[in-house]
Amino acid sequence: SPIPPRIIGEKYIVEQRLAEGGMGTLYVARHELTEQRVAVKVLKHRLARDGEAIERFLREVRMAARIGHPGVVRVYDAGVDMTPDGDPVPFLAMELLAGETLAESLARGNVPQSEALERLLETLEPLAAAHALGVVHRDLKPENIFLERGEDGTERVKLIDFGIARDTSDERYATAAGQTLGTVYYMAPEQCLDARVATAASDVWSFGAMIYQCLAGDFPFDGESIGAVM
């Protein structure tokens, strides 16, 4: 007999698995009633009992909804899925984007510098909208800049993954003292020491590191270990 389709949150029918990251798995799914196709991110089971991991995962919903900019990936829904063993696992339903990340585009090695810089500059608008609301992304890197390809062939930049963003107006979810969050090649010195002190200026540093990478083909600071880079 055919295997029944997997349904997430009792309403999203999984069509295929897109990717797997450190915190969760991303699927292409469609809503069983509206038939809208979405991207569904499900938190990894091993993190489902970690309160801090759940908070970081669901933060993406609040941040994206609060910013509400067309250059920020839209989050439609959030809920809890149940594993076959009866364990609750949070999930997010987001707009399904067609295209690739700036990192994937640069990895092919055939993107002119002017085009890569133009894509970066387009990211400044949603980033400024986030900063105006007191939201610091804290993980700006080419992997989190998505080049959405429309049906007419045009491309539009989307800023994605606000999972470790900091809301400077709400310290209920403060990062632990001395904790570093982000990707080391793009992290400002103050963020390397303590993620709690990251500000909009820290994102500007990360943006500068990306510009350097696009122009020079290398990181502004490199080393054989994370400590060496820091």
Catalytic residues, which ones? 139
Where are any strands of DSSP class E within the chain? 7-8, 12-20, 24-31, 37-43, 75-82, 88-95, 99-101, 135-136, 145-149, 155-159, 166-167
CB 74 within 8 A of CB 55: no
* DSSP-assigned states of every residue in 135-176: EE-S--SGGGEEEEE-TTS-EEEEE---TT-EETT-GGGPPP
Q: Return the C-alpha torsion angle 200, 141, 76, 46, nearest 10.
A: -110
Could you tell me which of 153, 152, 146, 150 has the C-alpha nearest to residue 64? 146
